[in-house]
A and B are shown apart, each in its own frame.
Chain A
Amino acid sequence: MLENILLGFQTSLTPENLLWCFAGVLLGTVIGMLPGLGATTGVAILLPLTLTMEPVTALIMLAGIYYGCQYGGTIAAVLIATPGDANAVATVVDGYALARKGQAGKALAIAAIGSFVAAIASLVLLMLVAAPIASVALKFGPAEMLAIMIMGLLTIISFSGDNLAKGLVMAGLGIFLSTIGMSSGFVEARFTFGSINLLGGIDFVVVMIGVFAVGEVVSQIGDGGVKPIRTRMRDMMIRGKDVKDSMPAILRGSGIGFLLGCLPGAGSTLAALVGYGVEKQVSPNRKMFGKGAIQGVASAESANNAAANANFVPTLALGIPGGTTTAVLLGAFVMYGIQPGPLLFDDQPALVWGLLTSFFIGNVILLVLNLPLAPAFAQVLRLPYRYLYPAILFFSMLGAYAVQNNLFALPVLFVAGVAGFFFKKFDYPTAPLILGVVLGPMVEKALVQTSSYADGDLTVLFKEPLSLGILILTVVIMLVPKLVGRFSRDRTAEAATPTPVA
């Protein structure tokens, strides 16, 4: 093991590889910041440019783009309530609330620290136990995935604020939107009215940008006379106490993110949503969640970063992509003439360990890059809103178009934006909507798979020990704190303070 790590650092610490690692994480941060342009597209666009490089150098750079994106996606989420990358969707809730309180710098800094800790922790796991974990991940079949999806759906509770009914309505709307177009497992197209564009479905990234960014712009202008956010220097900087308070959230987020990231088909977005959802139930500071809790940002960010790294577990140990970006990276392996598969660790030790150790270096660079930049980026919010919102609208439109290079995204964007305005006006939480759009297809797929697998008998969920365990855990995490809260809380106080989320 030690000699492998040494071998790895010998590869990753050459001046050339260091330089490309730096270039990769920097590019990743920028790509992550731009809404609509995510890690998968970024890596795919740059892939042809790397064909003349040494394979390990090219992979170091491309992987750098991938995890650099995880850091970059946070910035837009906190500053303008638009997740730059889909994985940052859960960050918006508390990140933007903190920004409205003048604490954007703090939110960005804890996101960077959380991401860093999660990355290092998951990397150590990846190095030590990639192969055994990958074979455990294979044990997750249709029933287990369905149980995880049920857990994901139950996080609606966490994202609904104090009004669960409104949260459920929004989640239902989201799931409905996700059913438009071709369905998994059936030939029939749904709700398309003969439109080819609807056959392609409503992309959740477009809905997300519309509801969050455009919706926010419409309501800010609707309110009239928006004042720039006042910030004090001491609110900008993160303090030791903040880090200490967030550490349990970061560790829990990392654990959840790592586990979900190992499962092909689960993904970092789900990891971030579940990480946040669980934290909101168990955190000592859970009452502040949705109103600007630093732990909310910490859990979501550490979960998505850990999941991004964990995606490499099936990718490197089995040659099966953990997610869409790692699928592009596997394609890159083949283009460089390297055969991915279970023998990769034995056949290409210099490449694998060079790549893995470069993650350490890349994440250190990202931390050093992001910590001082956090207060600097936060200054953007001091701009008068009349200068800020045209830029937000511009990037929203660009981002929505870039998702599928299709102009149909623009009407969807603006409909979602106007809807976002009304949601805000009538206190309907928007996060459950996004949760519904993201989880809808995943839940349906798991349901169809399980049903097919078990001849339509869904009690298989309770018969398989793994899925039963996941369900019990879900009930404990999601329902117990809620029930305890219900019995101990003063009912009049509850009625008097409705809290909107995001």
Chain B
Amino acid sequence: MRAFRKTTTAALGVAVLTLSACAGIDTSGSGGGLLGEFEPSERQTMIVPMSAGGGSDLSGRAIASGLEEVTGRTMSVENQDGGGGAVGYANFLGLQGNASHLLATETALVNLGLTQDVPFNWESFTPVMKVGQDSTVVVVKSDSPYDTCPDVVDAAKEGKVLAAVSGGATGNDAIQFGLIEKDQGVAFQRVPYESGGEAIAAVLGGHVDVGLTNPGEVIGQFESGDLKPLCVIAEKRYEYEELADIPTTVEQGIDVTFSQFRGVIAPGGLTDEAVDYWVDASKLYVKTEAFQEYMSSNYMQVDTAFGSDFAAYLKGYEAELKAGLG
């Protein structure tokens, strides 16, 4: 399997070299000339702390192949899932000072530290790049009596509202329902699901009243009219044409916002040169067409931040989440 993966990455490397040659990026000679003094090793690894196939996995693979293109070095992807990401992050903790490993990160980086007994928090690592964020859409079945998010909240005040929660009791769905519950003084009856797909199936089948989803996963259901979006849990509306009509929670009088960031971190304890190298490479990556295409095909909002700016974002995010979960 190792050998197998090596050949694929080697083949990828060749393809990438040709591509980057076409794009006019000079990858011949040492990487030092292009991206500062630091010289990375020949083989890089992108750790994905979630299983193959999820959103984290797709973003990790997209970013890894993009970084291969700009650095001219091969970067293989390794899934280390388990414990809602805890296993991957904990192993990453053991790679202190190792500049040839990156990790495809998202909100679990902060959530895990706040909700679980784990030996790390986001400050244990080196923030490199935030690519942008996903906002969550509250959805119901097309024939549901609810038309707005306050309708759902009012219903929960009077009776039972079944809410599909995927991603575990400390995942993003649970956190967002928790924030709404706290803000509005209501309680939803949570029905746990393994994956977002199962949760959407439950909404469509009428087994739960309301669900949460990233719009990229259900845009086809919106088009066919099987699912009805009620609101986006955010301050600003989506800019994508297909989603711009969906009002926000704030517009509807629910003072709850939450965004699911995605990005890349490096292990802690890196030299300044190494950090600069990855930050510079990331800045080159977000200028590529591949990046724009990845973001738009997944309906993600581009909002980049690098190095210390990403760290500042994480600090604010953590404080907000702490206050919200109270």
Which A residues are closer than 8 A to B by beta carbons?
34, 36-37, 40-41, 43-49, 51-52, 137-142, 181-182, 184-187, 189, 194, 196-197, 199-201, 203, 264-265, 314, 318-321, 324-325, 327-328, 330-331, 334-335, 337, 339-344, 398-399, 402, 404-406, 445, 448-449, 452-453, 455
Contact = CB atoms under 8 A, between A and B. Distances in A.
Interface string B152-163: 000000001010
Interface string B37-69: 000000000000001111001100110010000
Interface in B79-123: 79-84, 86-87, 90-91, 115-119
Contacts of B116: 189, 199
Contacts of B53: 40, 44, 324-325, 327-328, 331
Interface in B189-207: 189-195, 197-198, 200-202, 204-207
A142 B162 CA distance: 12
B196 to A, nearest CB: 9
Q: Max chain A CB contacts within 10 Å: which of B5, B79, B82, B226?
A: B82
B15 interface: yes
A339 B54 contact: no
A334 B169 contact: no
Contacts of A36: 1
A293 B202 CA distance: 39
A321 B192 CA distance: 17
Contacts of A184: 168, 192, 194
Nearest to A27: B4
B190 A341 contact: no
B87 A404 contact: yes
Nearest to B120: A196
B98 to A, nearest CB: 15
A453 B160 CA distance: 10
A399 B2 CA distance: 11
A45 B9 CA distance: 9
A175 B165 CA distance: 23
A319 B87 CA distance: 30
Given A138-B205, A328-B53, A402-B1, A201 B82 contact: yes
A184 B297 CA distance: 31
B312 interface: no
B33 interface: no
Contacts of B78: 405
Given A181-B82, A406-B91, A449-B193, A341 B297 contact: no
B36 interface: no
Given A46-B8, A404-B79, A185 B169 contact: yes
A341 B117 contact: no
B253 to A, nearest CB: 28
Contact of B51 (A47, A182, A324): A324
Contacts of B32: none
Contacts of A181: 82-83
Given A141-B207, A327-B53, A406-B80, A334 B297 contact: yes
B1 A196 contact: no
Given A184-B192, A318-B204, A452-B190, A197 B87 contact: yes
Contact of B52 (A41, A186, A196, A203): A41
A453 B194 contact: no
B20 interface: no
Contact of B80 (A137, A318, A405): A405
A264 B118 contact: no
B289 interface: no
B259 interface: no
B52 A404 contact: no
Given A52-B15, A200-B86, A34 B169 contact: no
Q: Max chain B CB contacts within 10 Å: which of A48, A314, A321?
A: A48
Contact of B297 (A196, A337, A344, A404): A337
Contacts of B80: 404-406
13 contacts: A44-B52, A45-B8, A142-B202, A194-B117, A196-B87, A328-B57, A331-B53, A331-B58, A339-B223, A342-B220, A404-B81, A449-B192, A452-B191
Nearest to B202: A141
A406 B204 contact: no
A26 B297 CA distance: 31
B297 A342 contact: no
B298 to A, nearest CB: 6
Contacts of A182: 83-84, 168
| Nearest 4 interchain pairs by C-beta | A341-B220, A200-B82, A141-B207, A138-B205
Given A200-B82, A452-B192, A343 B223 contact: yes
Nearest to A199: B83
A37 B1 CA distance: 8
Given A265-B198, A398-B1, 15 more contacts: A46-B8, A137-B201, A138-B204, A142-B207, A184-B192, A196-B118, A196-B119, A265-B201, A318-B221, A327-B197, A328-B52, A328-B53, A335-B297, A406-B87, A453-B191
Interface string B118-131: 11000000000000
Contact of A342 (B91, B162, B197, B224): B224
Interface residues of B, number: 66
Contacts of B201: 137-138, 264-265, 314, 318, 320
B195 A327 contact: yes
Contacts of A406: 80, 82, 87, 91
A409 to B, nearest CB: 10
Nearest to A451: B191
A56 to B, nearest CB: 17
Contact of B90 (A44, A48, A196): A196
B220 A319 contact: yes
B166 to A, nearest CB: 10
B61 A445 contact: no
A340 B220 contact: yes
Given A343-B220, A343-B223, A398-B1, A327 B205 contact: no
A138 B227 CA distance: 14
B219 interface: yes
Contacts of A201: 82-83
B27 interface: no
B304 interface: no
Given A44-B53, A138-B204, A196-B87, A341 B115 contact: no
Contact of B226 (A34, A185, A196, A342): A342
B216 interface: yes
Contacts of A189: 83, 116-117
A49 B170 CA distance: 34
B21 interface: no
A112 B87 CA distance: 38
B85 to A, nearest CB: 9
B250 interface: no
A187 B115 contact: yes
A341 B52 contact: no
B25 interface: no
B12 interface: yes
B244 interface: no
B61 A47 contact: yes
A47 B65 CA distance: 11
Q: Max chain A CB contacts within 10 Å: which of B52, B194, B198?
A: B52
